[in-house]
Chains A and B, each alone.
Chain A
């Protein structure tokens, strides 16, 4: 079963714009992670935020976590065509060794 749900399911923006994706989950977590997947390929880890953290940055990525609302957001600033991919949130709600993924947001960045 899936733990997280991303919103929106699909997002299309112009190069240079910012992209915001949201993730909601159902149960308490230790950490939440964001992954990226290019079509038909493996997933690549982007960033991990722990339950006691509220915000984290990595390059053009900014992740926030609101444990009271059981939600997280991923912001990609100054998007590039190469950012076109699917983005997934994953949580360890069940235990640290069992990561559950949401359905993903399909981001298209138009040059």
Chain B
């Protein structure tokens, strides 16, 4: 089985721009979670989707949004980028309570 695939792996944006990150879960996994990882804050939960519905949301501003499609692929969007949004964004699909992570998308905001 292919693992969780995240695209793009690396990207550079400037303040004020917006970015969309994509995540393809493991085939058959219907739950997708997103995390932000920074040196200062560690791994912070963003949101979780199941069957195209957001089930849980972390404590992030409205600039952070996401969605899930009928094939379980998910996207997250960050609008009006700030320098502090520079981070590794990790997506994970889950099965039986275990999270399977992608390699992440490293976003640098200049």
A-facing residues in B25-84 (Cβ within 8 Å) = 31, 33, 35, 42-45, 48, 50, 55-56, 58-59
A-facing residues in B76-110 (Cβ within 8 Å) = 88, 90, 92, 94, 97-104, 106
Q: Would you call A92 and B97 a contact (CB within 8 A)?
A: yes
B-facing residues in A64-107 (Cβ within 8 Å) = 88, 90, 92, 94-104
The stretch of A19-27, A41-49, A54-62 that contacts the partner chain: A41-49
Q: Would you call B42 and A90 a contact (CB within 8 A)?
A: no
Grouping DSSP codes into helix (H, G, I), strand (E, B) and loop, the A interface class, with mixed when no group exceeds half, is strand
Q: Would you call B98 and A48 a contact (CB within 8 A)?
A: yes
**Least distance between A36 CB and chain B CB atoms (Å):** 11
Residue of B nearest to A5 (CB): B42
Q: Would you call A2 and B42 a contact (CB within 8 A)?
A: yes
Q: B21 an interface residue at 8 Å Cβ cutoff? A: no
With A and B bound together, what is the CA distance between A45 and B31 in angstroms? 16
Contacts A88-B43, A104-B42 hold; do A45 and B99 have CB atoms under 8 A apart?
Answer: yes
Q: A40 an interface residue at 8 Å Cβ cutoff? A: yes
Selected contact of B4 from candidates A2, A42, A101, A104, CB within 8 Å: A42
Q: A1 an interface residue at 8 Å Cβ cutoff? A: yes
Residue of B nearest to A102 (CB): B42
**Least distance between A2 CB and chain B CB atoms (Å):** 6
Contacts A97-B31, A99-B45, A101-B43 hold; do A42 and B97 have CB atoms under 8 A apart?
Answer: no
A residues in contact with B55, CB < 8 Å: 97
Selected contact of B98 from candidates A33, A41, A42, A102, CB within 8 Å: A33
**Least distance between B47 CB and chain A CB atoms (Å):** 9
CB<8 Å pairs between A and B, sample of 7: A1-B59, A33-B99, A42-B92, A43-B92, A48-B98, A96-B97, A101-B45
